[in-house]
Copies of this chain bind each other. A is one copy, B any other.
Amino acid sequence: MFLSEFISIEDAFKIIGSNQVVNDYETISLDHAYLRALGEDAYSYHDSPPFDKSAMDGYALMSKDTFGASLNNPKYVVLIDEIGAGDLSEKEIRDGEAIKIATGAPIPKGADAVLMEEFTVLNGNNLEIHSQITPMENIAPKGEDIKREDRILSKGTLLKPAELGLIASSGHDKVKVYKKPKIKLITTGNELVKPSKRIKKAQIINSNRYTISAMIKSVGGLVEVEHCKDTKDEVKIAILKASNEYDMILTTGGTAISEGDVVVDVVKLIGEVLIHGVAIRPGKPFGFGKLENTPIFMLSGNPSAAISQFDIFVRKYIFEIQGLEYNPPILRRESKVKIPSTLGRTDYIKVSSDDEYVNYSLNKGSGIIHSMVAGNGYLIIDENNEGIKKGDVANVILFRSMELS
């Protein structure tokens, strides 16, 4: 595989994008809708607030009865009723009258303002007023926030805490959302074993199982894992079975061009390979294909390369399969380090960046597990660029901005 044989990252994005599938919908309880994507526009059944309501604990009255009032020149009204939260008063306020009212309670007829408790003294039913207020003061008017039949949220919105509160307030206790993607992760490799204190020479612990599973969870996918030996038969059976039962398949290993790298060969045999090899670093040996309509992402067996490939190609797909847009902001940061690159190849260099600078690079080769846990973003060097010099302003995507939130 020479660089000239790889397709560009832009072409890879196009091919994957034109094969994007989107999941069906389901209606679920609002209690379980956190971090799901709204499957239709949501409208309100109610005005919010549903009535003119008090924004304070105090006294509902006619504001004109307070005009000119001060500590030295108090005014007086008579208390005729009391309204707790959740209560109503049938009484109508007239000149010189007030009704005690709790925060959130409906304003009684005749009143046009609420005077805060702090500015009063109550003697029996006589209320002494020490401050003047204006009409509508301390009243949240009906429909101020939301009007009945307003569209409150659009299809595709990620349901975070405030969005759930908004939907609830609008009268919905159920919500139509995109189904979560069911994803099969098939790790391959004869040399791979489970984590253990003792391993034989030539064996390698299968860390992709944990890393890639967690990455799938981090973007809202439901994951099941299976491990296969590097034989065509075993890989073929696993992929065929998964293609019938899952929305997407991810594999690790078997993507380089050499004997024993069977995943790409098997997908060629039973489906279509649309991408094999992209001019990126790290992560060149990346494959993408289809089995009927089931997409399959073939990641490298190398842990660090597999992480980059997931970040570059798979995250966006998993966002979009569940109806969510994926657009992490590209930040501009001055680099304190020199990072060489090669024309014709796009680099995703793991870096540590703060709010102003790229401070250092973690680019120590794609096999270094230890460096994976450091850094907070990718510095991207596009294919028309031979590298970044000290002092250059570079494009940076923060890991955090690539997550579901």
Which residues from chain A sit less than 8 Å from chain B, CB to CB?
1-2, 30-31, 34, 45-46, 48-51, 55, 57, 84-88, 102-106, 117-118, 140, 144-146, 152-153, 160-173, 189-192, 194-199, 201-215, 217-218, 230, 256-261, 301-303, 307, 329, 331-332, 355, 365, 367-373, 400-401, 403, 405
B190 and A84 form a contact (CB under 8 A): yes
Q: Chain A contact residues: over half helix, strand or loop, or mixed? A: loop
Inter-chain contacts of A171 with B (CB < 8 A) = 195-197, 199, 205
* Top 3 A-B pairs, shortest CB-CB distance: A86-B191, A86-B190, A165-B211
CA distance A104 to B260 in the complex (A): 12
Inter-chain contacts of A261 with B (CB < 8 A) = 57
CA distance A153 to B31 in the complex (A): 35
Inter-chain contacts of A167 with B (CB < 8 A) = 195, 210
Instruction: Find the B residue at minimum CB distance from A260.
Output: B84
B372 and A103 form a contact (CB under 8 A): no
Known: A85-B301, A86-B191, A86-B202. 13 other contacts (CB 8 A): A34-B217, A48-B369, A50-B203, A85-B189, A88-B202, A103-B258, A104-B191, A162-B307, A165-B303, A169-B207, A170-B195, A171-B195, A171-B199
Q: Known contacts being A202-B51, A210-B164, A301-B104, is A152 close to B370, with CB within 8 Å?
A: yes
Instruction: Find the B residue at minimum CB distance from A157.
Output: B373
Inter-chain contacts of A102 with B (CB < 8 A) = 258, 260
B118 and A1 form a contact (CB under 8 A): yes
**Which of B46, B85, B203, B365 has a CB less than 8 Å from the CB of A191?**
B85
CA distance A195 to B173 in the complex (A): 5
A367 and B49 form a contact (CB under 8 A): yes
CA distance A192 to B196 in the complex (A): 54
Shortest C-beta distance, A240 to chain B (Å), equals 23
**Which of B34, B211, B331 has a CB less than 8 Å from the CB of A164?**
B211
Q: Known contacts being A31-B213, A202-B106, is A166 close to B369, with CB within 8 Å?
A: yes
CA distance A284 to B205 in the complex (A): 53
Inter-chain contacts of A207 with B (CB < 8 A) = 164-166, 168-169
